[in-house]
Amino acid sequence: MRKENPKEPASGEAPGTAGVLERNVEAILSHREQFERSRSRQERVADSITHFAGSMAFVYLHIVIFGIWIALDLGWFPIAPLDPTFVTIALAASIEAIFLSTFVLISQNRMAALADKRADLGLQVSLLAEHEITRLVELVTEIGKKMHIDASHDPELSELSQTIAPEKVLDTMEQTERERVAASH
């Protein structure tokens, strides 16, 4: 059996890709760990409660608690009912729902802020890639001219070699969206 060289790229992988991939994975994991460490105590508590409330253990616990409570109130056990009108259990469930929804909202707000950061990073990477591709198109066009290759028949080439301002793209998207909304009314 042939022993693989750890520095060799895996089959189908471009040379140098493994290092870039490992660096990117490490950077992402490091950023995620830093984000987790930067959470406040209240955020950790809210996330823990939300995590537990979204588990089957939470469901089973409520089945047992509410099941016993209801069974006691229905007189299935030889003790006096705690809440024969079920008002107290309804009140307890309502208060619990209020607090649980608050904890869920706290966690969702934190996750939305993280998603916004990731979207900003994705946009920045996309803008950098667009800039690099535009520069590559310009270089390839110049190389083509030096080699006397006529690319003037390609109408997209001149468009691709122009830098697009992201704010113009956003303005165009918003304008198109407003026109569609206006047309639908």
Cβ 66 vs Cβ 72: under 8 Å: no
Q: How many residues make up the chain in this entry? A: 185
User: pLDDT (tens digit, 9 = 90+) per residue, 112-142?
Assistant: 988 998 888 888 888 888 888 888 988 888 8
Please give the pLDDT value at position 16: 57
Sign of the four-CA dihedral 158, 160, 163, 165 = positive
Structure-block tokens of residue 18: 């493994």
- Region of residue 52 (phi > 0: left; psi between -120 and 50: alpha; otherwise: beta): alpha
User: pLDDT (tens digit, 9 = 90+) per residue, 148-161?
Assistant: 887 777 777 777 77
Please give the pLDDT value at position 59: 96
SS3 152: coil
Structure-block tokens of residue 122: 């994705």
Half-sphere exposure of 8 (CA within 13 A, CB side): 7
Please give the pLDDT value at position 82: 81
User: pLDDT (tens digit, 9 = 90+) per residue, 78-116?
Assistant: 888 888 889 999 999 999 999 999 999 999 998 998 899
Please give the pLDDT value at position 1: 45
Please give the pLDDT value at position 10: 52
27 vs 32: CA distance, rounded Å: 9
Cβ 25 vs Cβ 31: under 8 Å: no
pLDDT band at 3 (very low <50, low <70, confident <90, very high): very low
Sign of the four-CA dihedral 174, 180, 183, 185 = negative
Please give the pLDDT value at position 15: 58
Q: Where are the domains of the chain?
A: 21-184
Three-class secondary structure assignment of 112-127? HHHHHHHHHHHHHHHH
Please give the pLDDT value at position 2: 44
pLDDT band at 11 (very low <50, low <70, confident <90, very high): low
- Average per-residue pLDDT for the chain: 84
Q: Mean pLDDT over residues 32-52, rounded?
A: 89
Question: In this structure, which long-range contacts are made by residues 37-43, counting pairs with CB atoms below 8 Å and at least 24 apart in sequence?
Answer: 39/110, 42/106, 43/106, 43/107, 43/110
